[in-house]
Amino acid sequence: MIYIPVFILGAIIGSFLNVCIYRMPKDESIVRPSSRCMSCGTPVKFYDNIPVLSYFILMGRCRSCKTKLSVRYPLIELLNAVLYVMVLKRFGPDSPWVVAVYFVFVSVLLVIFFIDLDHQIIPNSITLPGIPIATILGATILPDPFSAYEMLGLKGALAGFAAGGGFFYLVAVLGKAVFKKDAMGGGDIKMMAMAGGILGWKGVILTTFMGSLLGSVIGVSLIMLKGREWGSRIPFGPYLATGALITLFWGRDILQWYFHA
């Protein structure tokens, strides 16, 4: 039964994530003003702000002006709720603190995914405080995602931070020198430094591999199906965020499969 309140909590936090995704790229407060229709500006009543359900009760339209609402709102709420349940199921036996940290981590990855998808930026307001916080938490209370018994520890967290930030910084410098254009955004570098503090250096490798694989497959598909040009700019953050989620939930299983295949 514990999964039901966790699902509800995830959906409620998901509603807040929608606010973050919309306002953070504009450097607007995520606290004030309260949620309102982006078309007519009418504040959303509390009974019209029930995660997931309100969208269907209102038939996907603003109660005041009848403007169509994006299906993304309930989707993000539902995604965050499902991710919270997955975190609890996967890491519940470890400790409530570990579960709480991973709740925040998956929510941050969702925000990064959609902001970078929309604006091709990853806000410093997420990554700059996130880097030291992630590294401290990784060094003190988080398990090694690739081990059933070991903690990540100070060495693991620092190695992950260095691997994530250092490798992507090196790619950015070399790409700029060779191709005479930005090969890696600063937001991606800082995001991976933050993720490395939580996932460790092995997590950075798997996240990078999975993100690159997804980016290649989807990028080629967009070129073939929608006629995008080779070399067109594609945000990498969504793929890295997806790779980090895969690493968090299934990294240990993937590693075991690889060595026993």
- Which pTM does this prediction carry? 0.92
Report the candidate in 88, 105, 84, 89 with the shortest Cα–Cα distance to residue 244: 105
Q: What is the mean pLDDT of residues 20-31?
A: 92
Domain ranges of the chain: 1-84, 92-261
What residues does 68 pair with on adjacent strands? 61
Work out the pLDDT band at 228, boundaries 50, 70, 90: low
How far does CA 163 lie from the centroid of its chain? Answer: 19
The dihedral built from the CA positions of residue 205, 207, 212 and 213, taken in this order, carries a sign that is positive
Work out the pLDDT band at 232, boundaries 50, 70, 90: low
For the stretch 213-218, contacts whose Cβ atoms lie closer than 8 Å and that sit 24 or more positions apart, written own/partner, are: 214/239, 214/242, 214/243, 215/239
Q: Provide the pLDDT for residue 231.
A: 56
Give every CB contact of residue 216 below 8 A, 6+ residues apart in sequence: none
| Predicted confidence (pLDDT) at residue 257 exceeds the cutoff of 90 | no
Q: Provide the pLDDT for residue 45.
A: 86
Q: Provide the pLDDT for residue 190.
A: 96
Helix (H, G, I), strand (E, B) or coil at 142: coil
Distance set, CA 65 to CA 18, 58, 69, 237, 260 (Å): 20, 12, 11, 35, 59
Work out the pLDDT band at 201, boundaries 50, 70, 90: very high
